[in-house]
Amino acid sequence: MKALALEKILQSQGYGSRKWCRERIEGGDFRVDGQVFTDPKFQIDPSAHAFTVYEETFHYHEHVYLVLNKPSGYECSRSPTRHPGVLVLLSDAMRRREVQPVGRLDHDTTGLLLLSDDGGFIHRQSSPKYHVPKTYWAHTSEIVSEGDAEQLKQGVRLNDEPQPIAALSSKVIAPQTLEIVLSEGKYHQVKRMIAAIGHHCARLERVAIGKLTLSSLTLPEGSWRHLSEEERALLVAPPNTPPLN
């Protein structure tokens, strides 16, 4: 990749203003592969090295693609009102990069949440046109049946929707848990679909996006990390998915 000045590398990763970064480098607080570099204008291929500032080592990312195991009690909105925003769970550097959640989960929904600073990626992942299936486990207050799952697959009517809304798939996975796969994300969609078949969704988890599963990540609740290239490849819609419109 094209060589960049050290001060630009540090600034682009969200560590601070250009001036702050220049001062850290001139002051001897910046290392490349363990070796102190003090010239902020020195140019280097950022993809080929590990950098350290104040004992924190990082690798250069032009864009970041993060996954968070979202706990209950955090809002995905950019201006949270009643609960803390999910961004407080990230590092200062990630917040400074203006990373945003990809789509929204309700404050009480837990599980897989993607975050990125790549607008194209956010659009592809959240647009219904791209059909990225999302898998939820809806834990209900009552016992559920295969008939309930069948109704969700056939389609249910939601108040403000002209057409019935159908799940891509649904099945009973425990006496009080329905798995439901959707490729769109209307407001409170799972909870409203569960209500439409006469049940109450007491707890909701997102357990997969595309083929990326929460269980494969071994990520404790409240923790986040960068997605690998292989993991990102799992986020796409399966081949031969028919277009929605």
Q: Is the dihedral of CA 191, 195, 198, 201 positive or negative?
A: positive
Site for ligand URA in 91-110 (CB under 6 A): 105-106, 109
Parallel/antiparallel/unpaired status of strands 134-140 and 177-182: antiparallel
Q: Which is nearer to ligand URA, 140 or 189 (CB)?
A: 189
Our finding on whether 189 is near ligand URA (CB under 6 A) is: yes
Mention every residue, 6+ apart, whose C-beta is less than 8 A from residue 147.
none
Q: Report yes or no: 134 and 147 within 8 Å, Cβ to Cβ.
A: no
**Residue 234 to residues 70, 80, 101, 110: CA-CA distances in angstroms?**
19, 30, 18, 20
Q: Which is nearer to ligand URA, 106 or 231 (CB)?
A: 106
Q: Report yes or no: 237 and 183 within 8 Å, Cβ to Cβ.
A: yes
Our finding on whether 190 is near ligand URA (CB under 6 A) is: yes
Which of 144, 204, 208, 227 touches ligand URA by CB under 6 A?
204
Q: Which residue out of 106, 117, 118, 148 is catalytically annotated? A: 106
106 noted as active-site residue: yes
Binding mask 28-57 for ligand URA (x = CB under 6 A): ------------------------------
Binding segment toward ligand URA, per CB under 6 A, in 29-37, 78-86, 183-191, 212-220: 183-191
Closest residue by Cα to residue 188 from 138, 119, 113, 150: 138
User: Which residues are at the interface with ligand URA (CB under 6 A)?
Assistant: 105-106, 109, 188-191, 204
Catalytically annotated residues: 106
